Amino acid sequence: MTEQTIFRKARLADGSLVDLHVMDGRFNAITPASAAGLSAGTDLGGQLVLPGFVEGHIHLDTSFYGDAWRPHIPCTNGFDVRERVAFQARNLSAAAPMAERAKNQLELCIGHGSLAMRSHVMVDGSVGLKHLEVILAICEKYRELIDIQLVAFPQSGILSSPGTPEFLDEALRLGCDLVGGLDPASFDRDVKAHLDVVFGLAGKHGVGVDIHLHDGGTLGLFQIEEIAARTTALGMGGNVAVSHAYALGDIPADALARAGDMLAASGVAIMTNAPGNHAFPPVAALRKAGVTVFSGSDNIRDSWWPYGDGDMLNRASMIGYRSGFYEDWELEAAYDVVSYAGAKALGLEGYGIEVGARADFVVLKAEHVPEAVVAVPGERTVYRAGRVVAKDGAVL
Ligand SMILES: [Zn+2]
State the average pLDDT over residues 212-241: 98
DSSP-based helix, strand, coil % in the chain, nearest 5 = 35, 25, 40
CA of 98 to the centre of ligand 1 (A): 17
For residues 174 and 144, the answer to whether their CB atoms sit within 8 Å is: no
CA of 269 to the centre of ligand 1 (A): 15
CA of 299 to the centre of ligand 1 (A): 6
CA of 377 to the centre of ligand 1 (A): 26
CA of 145 to the centre of ligand 1 (A): 23
The structure's pTM equals: 0.96
Rounded to whole angstroms, the maximal C-alpha distance in the chain is 69
Which residues is 364 bridged to in the sheet? Answer: 48, 380
Which residues have CB less than 5 Å away from ligand 1 (the ion)?
298
CA of 276 to the centre of ligand 1 (A): 14
CA of 309 to the centre of ligand 1 (A): 15
With vertex at residue 270, the alpha carbon angle to CA 297 and CA 203, rounded to the nearest 5 degrees, is 105
So what's the pLDDT on residue 37? 59
So what's the pLDDT on residue 334? 98
CA of 37 to the centre of ligand 1 (A): 50
Confidence category of residue 3, pLDDT binned at 50, 70, 90: confident
Nearest-angstrom CA–CA distance, 321 and 94: 36
Nearest-angstrom CA–CA distance, 386 and 383: 5
What is the per-residue DSSP string for 21-87?
EEETTEEEEEEEPPPTT--SSEE-TT-EEEEPEEEEEE-TTT--TTS---PPPPPSSS--HHHHHHH
CA of 241 to the centre of ligand 1 (A): 12
CA of 210 to the centre of ligand 1 (A): 10
Q: Is residue 257 pLDDT above 70, yes or no?
A: yes
For residues 172 and 207, the answer to whether their CB atoms sit within 8 Å is: yes
CA of 355 to the centre of ligand 1 (A): 34
Nearest residue to 153 (alpha-carbon basis) of 182, 117, 183, 180: 180
CA of 119 to the centre of ligand 1 (A): 8
Nearest-angstrom CA–CA distance, 362 and 91: 35
Nearest residue to 62 (alpha-carbon basis) of 263, 281, 297, 245: 297
Backbone angles phi, psi at 339, to 5 degrees: -130, -95
For residues 123 and 164, the answer to whether their CB atoms sit within 8 Å is: yes
3 state SS of 256: helix
- 211 sits in which H/E element: strand 208-213
CA of 342 to the centre of ligand 1 (A): 15
284-338 confidence digits (pLDDT tens): 999 999 999 999 999 899 998 999 999 999 999 999 999 999 999 999 999 999 9
So what's the pLDDT on residue 278? 87
CA of 389 to the centre of ligand 1 (A): 27
Residue count of the chain: 396
